[in-house]
A = this chain, B = another copy of it.
Amino acid sequence: MTTKKSLPEKTVERLSIYRRSLMECLSKGKNYIYSHEIAKLHHITSVQVRRDIMLIAYTRKITKGYNVKELIDLIGNIIDTESGQNIAVLGVGNLGRALLGYFKGRRTKLTIMACFDVNPNKVKRHFSGVECYHMDNLDEIIKKKKISIGIITVPPEKTVEVAKNLVESGIKGVLNYSSTKISVPDNVFLEEFDMTSSLEKVAYFAKNIEEST
């Protein structure tokens, strides 16, 4: 359908970040912005910014700087869906609650519609305004609330099962924060983030910087 073939992953990430700071600019009354200004905000190069914008900007009217409002809309057209997408958080531990708090009251097209846990003390309570359901009702709620994205924050030993259930319920994207890796079919997008290995990576390079001086 759409001619726009899928953007590079990195570009999508950056566009999302640009948009946030562009919205801040707008709220400060700044209506035009240069690529090098955006670049400075995010500590990248202006070429990088222009490349990214190039990939989404069909219109080519060359003026000085970008119209902030227009750019925000342009990014929205690409990364949002018309109707928005619904999200579930799996596991209401500290990390799950952090995420719930994080997204509370954001004005994007992404809405956290439900969270799940196995702890009866958490079920039926609300966390950052989001109701908690029992894992047993996963399939039902996902379908009822038309949830298409799941964020996994359950303990390692539960991860594989939860992932399996998500996929079976027809989820389209999974963000896995558990240290246990999962696999999903090709028609589900998977992003995994391992907090331990990130930290060990930082430790490794911090050490090496020290050594090389």
Contacts and interface: CB of A to CB of B under 8 A. Distances in A.
B201 A9 contact: yes
Contacts of A206: 85, 148-149, 172-173, 188-189
A97 interface: yes
Given A98-B95, A149-B206, A108 B20 contact: no
Nearest to A207: B81
A203 interface: yes
Contacts of A94: 94-95, 97-98, 101
Interface stretch (A27-35, A65-73, A136-144, A191-199): A191-199
Interface string A202-213: 111111111111
Contacts of A181: 17, 41-43
A187 interface: yes
Interface residues of A, number: 67
Interface of A: 1-2, 6-7, 9, 12-14, 16-17, 20, 41-43, 78-79, 81, 85, 87, 93-95, 97-99, 101-103, 106, 108-110, 148-149, 151, 172-175, 179, 181, 183, 187-189, 191, 193-213
Which 7 pairs between the two chains have the least Cβ-Cβ distance? A173-B206, A94-B98, A95-B98, A16-B200, A172-B206, A189-B205, A16-B197
